Amino acid sequence: MNTKINDYVTWVGKTDWELKKFHGDEFTTEHGSSYNAYLIRDEKTVLIDTVWLPYDREFVSNLKKEIDLKKIDYIIVQHGEVDHSGALMELMDEIPNTPIYCTANGVKYIKGQYHEDWNFNIVKTGDKLNIGKHTLTFIEAPMLHWPDTMFTYMDNEGILFSNDGFGQHLASEFLYADEVEQDKLWKEAITYYANILAPFSMMVKNKINEILKMNLEINMIYPSHGLIWRKNPEQIVKKYLEWADNYKENQVTIIYDTMWNSTRKMAEAIASGIENIDKNVTIKLMNTSKDDKTLVLTEVFKSKAIVVGSPTVNNGYLHSIAGILEMIKGMKLKNKKAVAFGSYGWSGEATKLITEELRKAGFEIINDGVKVMWTPDEEMLEQCKKLGEEIGRTCA
Ligand SMILES: Cc1cc2nc3c(=O)[nH]c(=O)nc-3n(C[C@H](O)[C@H](O)[C@H](O)COP(=O)(O)O)c2cc1C
Ligand SMILES: [Fe+2]
Ligand SMILES: [Fe+2]
The answer, yes or no, to whether any atom of ligand 1 lies below 6 A from the CB of 174, is no
H or E segment and range at residue 189? helix 182-192
Q: Around 340, how many Cα atoms within 13 Å sit in the side-chain half-sphere?
A: 25
Backbone dihedral region for residue 129 (phi beyond 0: left; psi -120 to 50: alpha; all else: beta)? beta
Give me the pLDDT at residue 300, please: 99
DSSP state string for 113-177:
HH-----EEE--TT-EEE-SS-EEEEEE-TTSSSTT-EEEEETTTTEEEEETTT------S-SBG
Q: Which CATH superfamily is domain 3-243 in?
A: Ribonuclease Z/Hydroxyacylglutathione hydrolase-like (3.60.15.10)
**Ligand 1 mutation target, pool 313, 320, 346, most atoms within 8 A of CB:** 313
Q: Is 344 touching ligand 1 by the criterion CB < 6 Å?
A: yes
Q: Ligand 1 in contact with 10 (CB < 6 A)?
A: no
Counting atoms of ligand 1 from 1, which one is nearest the CA of 312?
Answer: 17
**CATH number, domain 251-394:** 3.40.50.360
* Nearest bound ligand to the CA of residue 197: 2
Q: Sign of the C-alpha dihedral, residues 95, 98, 101, 105? A: positive
* Rounded-to-integer distance, Cα 129 and Cα 132, Å: 9
The alpha carbon of 259 and the centre of ligand 1 are apart by a number of angstroms equal to 8
What's the pLDDT at 1? 85
Does the CB atom of residue 258 touch ligand 1 within 6 A?
yes
Q: Which atom of ligand 1 is nearest to the CA of 256?
A: 26
Task: Single out the residue of 225, 73, 218, 78 nearest to residue 139, CA to CA.
Answer: 78
What is the CA(357)–ligand 1 centre distance, in A? 20
Q: Which atom of ligand 1 is nearest to the CA of 263?
A: 26
Q: Which of 290, 314, 375, 377 to mutate to test the pocket of ligand 1 (most atoms within 8 A of CB)?
A: 314
CB of residue 343 inside a 6 A radius of ligand 1: yes
Measured in Å, residue 373 CA sits from the centre of ligand 1 at 9
Q: Is 288 in the pocket of ligand 1 (CB under 6 A)?
A: no
Q: Is 351 in the pocket of ligand 1 (CB under 6 A)?
A: no
Query: How many residues are recorded in the chain?
Result: 396
Q: Name the residue ranges covered by the structural domains of the chain.
A: 3-243, 251-394
Mean pLDDT taken over the chain: 98
The residues near 128 (Cβ < 8 Å, ≥ 6 apart) are 135, 136, 137, 138
User: Is 3-243's fold the same as 251-394's?
Assistant: no
Residues noted as catalytic? 23, 79, 81, 83, 145, 164, 192, 225
Instruction: Give the residue whose CA is nearest to atom 27 of ligand 1.
Output: 259
C-alpha 55/C-alpha 47 separation (Å) is: 16
Contact assessment for residue 33 and residue 171, using Cβ atoms and an 8 Å cutoff: yes
pLDDT in tens, the chain (396 residues): 899 999 999 999 999 999 999 999 999 999 999 999 999 999 999 999 999 999 999 999 999 999 999 999 999 999 999 999 999 999 999 999 999 999 999 999 999 999 999 999 999 999 999 999 999 999 999 999 999 999 999 999 999 999 999 999 999 999 999 999 999 999 999 999 999 999 999 999 999 999 999 999 999 999 999 999 999 999 999 999 999 999 999 999 999 999 999 999 999 999 999 999 999 999 999 999 999 999 999 999 999 999 999 999 999 999 999 999 999 999 999 999 999 999 999 999 999 999 999 999 999 999 999 999 999 999 999 999 999 999 999 999
Q: 314 CB under 6 A from ligand 1?
A: yes
Give the ligand at the shortest distance from the Cα of 34: 3
Cβ-proximal residues to 215 (8 Å cutoff; 6+ apart), any chain: none
Give CA–CA dist 310/303, Å, rounded. Answer: 19
User: pLDDT value at position 333?
Assistant: 98
Distance CA 385, CA 341 (A): 12
The Cα–Cα gap between 53 and 36 comes to 13
Which phi and psi (to 5°) does residue 72 adopt?
Answer: -75, 120
Q: Is the CB of 311 under 6 A from ligand 1?
A: yes
Closest CA to 36 of 89, 76, 95: 76
End-to-end CA distance of the chain: 51
Specify the pTM. Answer: 0.96
Nearest atom in ligand 1 to 265's CA: 26
The continuous run of DSSP H or E covering 340 comes out as: strand 337-344
216 lines ligand 1 (CB under 6 A): no
DSSP state for residue 10 in the 8-state scheme: E
The C-alpha atoms of residue 384 and residue 260 are separated, in whole angstroms, by 18
- Do β-strands 282-287 and 251-256 pair in parallel, antiparallel, or remain unpaired? parallel
Q: CA–CA separation, 61 vs 102, rounded Å?
A: 24
Q: Which ligand is nearest to the CA of 16?
A: 3
Nearest to 11, CA basis, from 235, 232, 230: 230
From 261, 312, 347, give the residue whose CB has the most ligand 1 atoms within 8 Å, as the site to mutate: 312
Ligand 2 center–CA 163 separation, angstroms: 8
d(CA 117, CA 111): 7
